Structure 1
Amino acid sequence: MSTDARELSAAEKIKDESRFLRGNIGEELQQDSASFGKESIALLKFHGTYQQDDRDIRIERKKAGLDKAFSCMVRCRIPGGRMTAEQLVAQLDLCDELGNATLKITTRQTLQLHGILKSDLRETIHRINKINLSTLAACGDVNRNIMCCPAKRVGTVHEELQRLSQELTVALAPQTRGYHELWVTDLETGEKTLEGGGPPTKEEEPLYGPRYLPRKFKIGIALPEDNCIDIYTQDLGFLAVVREGKVIGYNVSVGGGMGMTPSAAKTFPALAQRMAFARPEQVVDVAKAVIGVQRDFGNREDRKVARMKYLIADWGIEKFRSKVEEYFGEALADCTEDDVHGFDDHMGWQEQGDGLWSYGLNVENGRLYDNDQVQLKAAFRAIAAELNPAIRLTSHQSIIFCDIQPEQKDRLLEIIRAHGVRLSEDTSNVRRWSMACVGLPTCGLSVTESERIMPKFMDQLEGPLAKLGMSHEKFTVRMTGCPNGCARPYNADLALVGQTKGKYRVFAGGALLGTRLNYQYKEKVAEADVPSELIAVFAAFKANRQDNETMGDFCARVGRDELERMAEEAPKP
C-alpha cells in the first residue's frame, strides 16, 4: 500500500501542508501572544527550537489565573562539536541577554539555550546565524547534528572524519528557503518575507520531499579505538576503517535509537546493526540512499514506531540492505572485521601531535552557569579572551580547549581554578562518566528530575565507592527524566530512567564501549532510594566480579535475578 493511500498521522499532515516548513510561523511571530499554535510548534522544531514552559510554576500560575510561563529552547547545529572561542562567547552573550542565564552542552555535541521568549526568538536565531552557526535541522524529522570524534590530532585520519561530518551536514541539510526568510533575510534587509512569498516549488527539497522524514534521524562517525560518540545508538553510523594511517572506507551501521514508550510493547531501544562497507567516495550517496529508504518506507501513520529501527526490525537487515543498494545504484561490499574496541572521553591533557595541547574539562551534565561557588561562564570568557583556543564539544556534555601552547598549560589551569571550577583530574570517575538530560522544569516530556538531581546522587555515591576501593573503576551512569532516552541510557553500564513522579526505573548491564543494551533491573525506585540501590550493586560487583570484569560485563553475566540476590547479600560500605 502506498503512503498516500494510508491515513497519515497529524504530524505528517502538518508537514505536508507547511509550504516547506513555513506554515504560519511568520504571522505568529508578529503577534503579541506569548506562545505559538500547535502547527507552528511542530514546524519550529525543524528550525531548531522547541516551545516549553516552566513546570515549576505551572500550578502557581494556574491558581493565579495566569497562562503557562512559555519560552523556547533554541539548539544549534554544530557538526562534530567544532566551534571557535568567539562563537562560544557569542552563545554565552545570548544566554545572558536573551535566555535564562545558562547554556547547555548537549549529548550530541552542540549547545542549546533555554528561556528564550517568543518575542526574542527571531533575534536569537538571527544572531546565531550572524556568527556562522545555524539552528536549521538541529531538531525535527530530518538528519540532525552529525556527531564525530572531536579530538584535534595532526594527521589525515581525524581530519578526514571531521571533514566528512561537515560534508554530510551540507549534503543532507534541508533546502527550504523558509528558514532564511524567517530568521535571516528580513532582519538583514528589512524585506517583508515573513509571509513566505508564495508557494515554493517541489524541487526545493530534492532529498526529503514535502513531508520530510517520518521521524528524527541521527548520524555518527567514529573510530574503532574510540567510540566516543556512541556510534551504535545512531540511525546511521560510519566506523572508519584505517590501513597504514589512511581511511580506506567505513563500516556502515543502521538502525540505532534509544527512545521507547514502556506502556507500548511495540516500542524498544535498539543498537544499530552492521550493514555494509562504503568507500570514502561512496559515503554521501550511501547516506542519501539510507535516508531515501527511510523516507519512502518508514511508518508515517504512528510516530511511536516511525524511527528507522522499526523499519529494520520489520524487514530484517538483509532486505533493508538490498533496498539501500537499489537506491544507491549498485551493490556494496560487506563490512570488514573492524569494530569498536575503545572509548576515550578526551578529558585532561592530550597531545595534538603538532607541539600543541588539548585540555578536556569535565562539565557536569553540560550546564554552564555562574553562582557564588562556581563561575563556569566567567572562566570560559576569560580563557577565550586570553588564550583564544579552538573549542570542541564532546558527547558526554563536556568541552575541549585546543591549540594550547606548552607555556600556556599552567595558565589555563590557573584560570579554571580561579573561578572555582573543578579540574578533570580532580573529578571522580563516577561523576566524570555520568550524564543527564535536562529533565525538569523545562522539558515537556520529563516525569522526574534528571539534571538537577544528578550531582546530588554523585555526591552520595563517591564516598561508598571509595570505601569499596572502586574509585578507579570506569563505568557509565546515565539519567533521563523520561523513557525517550536523550542521554542514551539504554546502553549504559547503569542507568536511571524516569517512570512516574519521583520514581525511576533502574537499568544495568550495558557497556562503557556502547556495544550492548542493558536490562531493567528494578522499577518504581523512589528518588530517595536511588543511591542505596546503586551502592548495593557496587557492593555486589566488588564481592562477585571475575578477573578484569567491568561493571557492565558483571551485570550482564549474572542477570537481573542473580544481581538482585547478590546486591541483597553483599556487605555494604
Structure 2
Amino acid sequence: MTTRTIDRSTDLSQSLDKLGPDETLKHNSDYLRGHIASDLLDRITGGVTFESNKLMKFHGIYQQDDRDIRDERRRQKLEPALTFMVRVRLPGGVCTPEQWLKIDELAQAHGGNTIRLTTRQTFQFHWIVKEDIKPTIEGLHDVLLDTIAACGDDSRGVMATADPADSDVHAEVAALSKQLSDHVIPKTRAYHEIWYGEERVATSENEEPFYGKQYLPRKFKIGFVVPPSNDIDVYTQDLGFIAITGPNGIEGFNVTIGGGMGRTDNEPTTYPRLADVVGFIPEDRLLACADAVMSVQRDYGNRLIRARARFKYTIDDKGLDFIKAEIEQRMGAPFEPARPFELTTNGDGFGWRQTDRGTWNYGLFIANGRVSDLPGRDIMSGLREIAKVLKGHFRLTPNQNLIIAGVAPEDKAQIEALLDAHGLSANARTSALRLNSIACVALPTCPLAMAEAERYLPDLITKIEGILDRNGLAEEPITIRMSGCPNGCSRPYVAEIALTGRAPGKYNLYLGGGFHGERLNALYAENLGEERILEILSEKLSAYARDRAPGERFGDFVTRTIDRPQAA
C-alpha cells in the first residue's frame, strides 16, 4: 500500500488574506492544538472560545446548548446551558461487547443515561459537561476507541455495509474500513497531548505529511457497500467503494466520487448531488485510490467560500473528466471500466439471520438510533445485559439500527430470552414505514436545527400509518427521513418521502427518491405544517395504492406521475 505524502499539484501556501476565516484558523492552530487545553481549565464558563469550538470538531467534539431553555436563560441573563456532543470513531460500525459496556458506562456517568446511534454507524454522547469530556475520552481509550476525526475538515468515520447475514465478504469489507480509517485520520499528536496527557515531542512542518496545516477544505465522507444492499447510501458519499466479488471473494471495487447531501435554503449554488461511478480498481489499489481522490480535493477544493467547499462542488466546478484524470495521475494507474453490479435496497433487515459461518445475527430496530429505556422497551438495559454474555460483536447500521452479531447456535436461546425479557423481541408489530425511517437529532441540542426531527418523526409516522392502513399499504416498505435543517444529516434527499426543517413546526416536503438510493427526490412543497403534510401524503399514497404498476415503488410512482411541485 502507499505512504501518504503532500505531493501537492497546486500551491496551498497562498496568502492567508485570500482564504476564508476557517482556513486561517486551521493554518494558525499549531496542528489543531490552538488554546483547547487552556480553555478546558476555565471554570468561569461552561463552554470554550469560538476558536476552540471550531478546532475541537477535529477531535470529535461539538459544543451545544439546551435550546429548550435557551430563551429562559437569556431572560435570566445566564449563559446558555452549554454541554458537548462527543462522537466516537468506529470504522464500519463494528463494536465488541467490552466496548459496548464501556460506552454504556460512560453514557450513564456523563451522557444523560442515553446513547445515540448515528447515520454514520457510530455512537454519539450528548449532554457532556466540559469537565467530563476528558474522562469520557480517557474511558474510550481504555477499550481502544477514540474520537479522532469524527468531525472536522478531514476524512470522517469510514462506513461499511452492515448486513444481517454478515458473510465473509462483509467481514473483509469491515476490516478494510478499519484499515482505511486508520490510514486517513490526521497524524497530529495534538489529540494525544490534550486528551491523554502525553508530553509534546519535537515537531516539524511534516507533522501532517498529507493534510498540511490547513487540512481539507471541508468534511470528507468515505464508505464501502456490498451489493445488493446500499445501506450506506453510497451515492451520497464523497468517495464510495462498491465491492465487486468473484468465486474467491472481493476482486476489487467500483469507485464513486462526488456525493453529498448538504444544501442551504434559498441558496441555489448549494445542492445535494449523487456520486458518479468513475471506474474499477483492484483491491490492492484501495489506499492509493483514497489518497489520490482526497489529495485532489485537498488541492483544488474551494478554500475561500466555505459553502462551496465540498468535493461535489470541486467536481462540478472543475469538470468530472478533469478530476478523474487528476485522480488517475496521482494514483499511478487508470481506472478500469466499471463492472456490473445491482443495488436493490438501502434499508436494514430485522430479526434472526444465519451467516455463512453458521453463527446467527439479530437485526434490532432502534427508532432514530436513540438507545435508552422506554416504557415497555428497555433498550439500554437490555443491550447492557446482552453485552455481558455476548461472545460475538455488535454492528451499528447506517440506518441507526443495531445487529447483535456472531451468536453461536448454542447461545441463541439465551440472547432471545434477554430480548424478550426487555421488550426487544421482533414479535412487537412495527410498520414497514417506521422500519425504513431515519431522523437526525435536531432540537434541543443541534445548533443548526430549525425544527424538530428525532422527537417529532415517530408521532408523525403514527399519523401516516393511519393513511397507509386505510389504503392497504401497511406492509409496503417506503423510505421516510426527516432533518431539522437542510444540511441533510439523515440523508433525506435520496428518500422517497423527506422533510427538512424550515422553522418550528414547518418543513419542506420532498418526494420521489429512489428506494435503493439511486435517485434524488424533488422539492414538492415548501414551509408546510403537519396538516398540509398529511393532506399531500394522503393524496399521493391513495393514488399509489390505486394506480401503481405491479412491483412499483412509491418513489418511482411519484416520479412517474407527479405533475409539478405545489405552491407553499
TM-score, normalised on structure 1? 0.93
Determine if contact 1:152/1:158 at 8 Å carries over to the other structure.
no
TM-aligned CA deviation for residue 329 of structure 1: 2.3
CA RMSD of aligned residues (A): 1.9
Aligned pairs for 1:269-284 (under 5 A) are 269-284=272-287
TM-aligned CA deviation for residue 407 of structure 1: 4.2
Give the aligned partner of residue 549 of structure 2: 546
Aligned pairs for 1:137-152 (under 5 A) are 137-151=149-163
Task: State whether structure 2 residue 17 is matched by structure 1 residue 17.
Answer: no
Determine if contact 1:143/1:219 at 8 Å carries over to the other structure.
yes
Give the aligned partner of residue 435 of structure 1: 438
Structure 1 residues 422 and 10, CA gap change in structure 2 (3 angstroms): farther
- In structure 2, what is the Cα distance between the partners aligned to 1:255 and 1:91? 33
Aligned pairs for 1:162-561 (under 5 A) are 162-186=174-198, 193=199, 200-343=203-346, 345-421=348-424, 423=426, 426-561=429-564
Give the aligned partner of residue 8 of structure 1: 19
Give the aligned partner of residue 40 of structure 2: 29
The residue type equivalent to 2:186 in the other structure is P
The residue type equivalent to 1:406 in the other structure is P
Determine if contact 1:145/1:218 at 8 Å carries over to the other structure.
yes
Determine if contact 1:362/1:424 at 8 Å carries over to the other structure.
no
Which of 70, 75, 87 is 1:63 aligned to? 75
Q: Deviations over 1:165-221 (max 9, x none)?
A: 1111111111000101111135xxxxxx4xx567x3121111111100000000010
- In structure 2, what is the Cα distance between the partners aligned to 1:224 and 1:131? 32
SS in 2 for 1:74: strand
Q: Deviations over 1:537-568 (max 9, x none)?
A: 2112112212211001011112352x869xxx
Task: State whether structure 2 residue 118 is matched by structure 1 residue 96.
Answer: no
The residue type equivalent to 1:17 in the other structure is N
- In structure 2, what is the Cα distance between the partners aligned to 1:439 and 1:424? 30
The residue type equivalent to 1:160 in the other structure is E
SS in 1 for 2:102: helix
- Residues 363-372 or 534-543, more deviating: 534-543
- Residues 68-77 or 313-322, more deviating: 313-322
- In structure 2, what is the Cα distance between the partners aligned to 1:164 and 1:316? 30
- In structure 1, what is the Cα distance between the partners aligned to 2:380 and 2:18? 49
Task: State whether structure 2 residue 55 is matched by structure 1 residue 43.
Answer: yes
TM-aligned CA deviation for residue 245 of structure 1: 4.3
- In structure 2, what is the Cα distance between the partners aligned to 1:339 and 1:295? 32
SS in 2 for 1:257: coil
- In structure 1, what is the Cα distance between the partners aligned to 2:110 and 2:69? 20
Structure 1 residues 155 and 464, CA gap change in structure 2 (3 angstroms): closer
Determine if contact 2:508/2:526 at 8 Å carries over to the other structure.
yes
The residue type equivalent to 1:318 in the other structure is D
Determine if contact 1:361/1:424 at 8 Å carries over to the other structure.
no
SS in 2 for 1:204: coil
TM-aligned CA deviation for residue 527 of structure 1: 3.3
Determine if contact 2:111/2:125 at 8 Å carries over to the other structure.
yes
- Residues 433-442 or 5-14, more deviating: 5-14
Determine if contact 2:186/2:208 at 8 Å carries over to the other structure.
yes
- Residues 213-222 or 122-131, more deviating: 122-131
TM-score, normalised on structure 2? 0.94
Unaligned 5+ runs, structure 2? 1-9
Structure 1 residues 99 and 343, CA gap change in structure 2 (3 angstroms): closer
SS in 2 for 1:250: strand
TM-aligned CA deviation for residue 467 of structure 1: 2.2
Structure 1 residues 18 and 455, CA gap change in structure 2 (3 angstroms): same
Q: Deviations over 1:237-296 (max 9, x none)?
A: 000111224211111000000000022110000010011211111110110000000000
Task: State whether structure 2 residue 161 is matched by structure 1 residue 158.
Answer: no
TM-aligned CA deviation for residue 157 of structure 1: 2.0
Q: Deviations over 1:478-527 (max 9, x none)?
A: 00000000000000111011012220000001012000000001111113
The residue type equivalent to 1:129 in the other structure is H
The residue type equivalent to 1:514 in the other structure is G
Give the aligned partner of residue 117 of structure 2: 105
Determine if contact 1:157/1:245 at 8 Å carries over to the other structure.
no
Structure 1 residues 532 and 152, CA gap change in structure 2 (3 angstroms): closer
- In structure 1, what is the Cα distance between the partners aligned to 2:290 and 2:401? 28
Which of 116, 130, 136 is 2:142 aligned to? 130
- In structure 2, what is the Cα distance between the partners aligned to 1:183 and 1:123? 8
- In structure 2, what is the Cα distance between the partners aligned to 1:130 and 1:386? 20
TM-aligned CA deviation for residue 416 of structure 1: 2.3
- Identity of paired residues, percent? 40
TM-aligned CA deviation for residue 534 of structure 1: 2.2
- In structure 2, what is the Cα distance between the partners aligned to 1:558 and 1:294? 39
Give the aligned partner of residue 569 of structure 1: none
TM-aligned CA deviation for residue 344 of structure 1: 5.4
TM-aligned CA deviation for residue 53 of structure 1: 0.2
Q: Deviations over 1:461-486 (max 9, x none)?
A: 22321221111211110000000000
SS in 1 for 2:377: coil
- In structure 2, what is the Cα distance between the partners aligned to 1:463 and 1:551? 17
Give the aligned partner of residue 190 of structure 1: none
Determine if contact 2:345/2:517 at 8 Å carries over to the other structure.
no
TM-aligned CA deviation for residue 424 of structure 1: 7.1
Determine if contact 2:364/2:424 at 8 Å carries over to the other structure.
no
Structure 1 residues 160 and 410, CA gap change in structure 2 (3 angstroms): closer
TM-aligned CA deviation for residue 383 of structure 1: 1.1
Q: Deviations over 1:101-143 (max 9, x none)?
A: 2110000000000000011111111111111111001001111
Determine if contact 1:261/1:483 at 8 Å carries over to the other structure.
yes
Determine if contact 2:244/2:341 at 8 Å carries over to the other structure.
yes
SS in 2 for 1:458: helix
The residue type equivalent to 2:210 in the other structure is L
Q: Deviations over 1:53-106 (max 9, x none)?
A: 000000111111111000000000101100111211211111111112211000
- In structure 2, what is the Cα distance between the partners aligned to 1:169 and 1:293? 18
- In structure 2, what is the Cα distance between the partners aligned to 1:314 and 1:117? 42
Determine if contact 2:280/2:338 at 8 Å carries over to the other structure.
yes
TM-aligned CA deviation for residue 342 of structure 1: 4.3
- In structure 1, what is the Cα distance between the partners aligned to 2:533 and 2:114? 27
TM-aligned CA deviation for residue 11 of structure 1: 0.6
Structure 1 residues 42 and 469, CA gap change in structure 2 (3 angstroms): same
SS in 2 for 1:278: strand
TM-aligned CA deviation for residue 535 of structure 1: 2.6
Give the aligned partner of residue 570 of structure 1: none
TM-aligned CA deviation for residue 152 of structure 1: 6.6
Return structure 1 stretches of 4+ with deviation > 6 angstroms.
none
Aligned length: 555
- Residues 422-431 or 439-448, more deviating: 422-431
The residue type equivalent to 2:452 in the other structure is E
SS in 2 for 1:203: coil
Q: Deviations over 1:407-463 (max 9, x none)?
A: 443443332232234627622100000010001000000000000011101211223
- In structure 2, what is the Cα distance between the partners aligned to 1:491 and 1:58? 33
Structure 1 residues 155 and 484, CA gap change in structure 2 (3 angstroms): closer
The residue type equivalent to 1:466 in the other structure is D
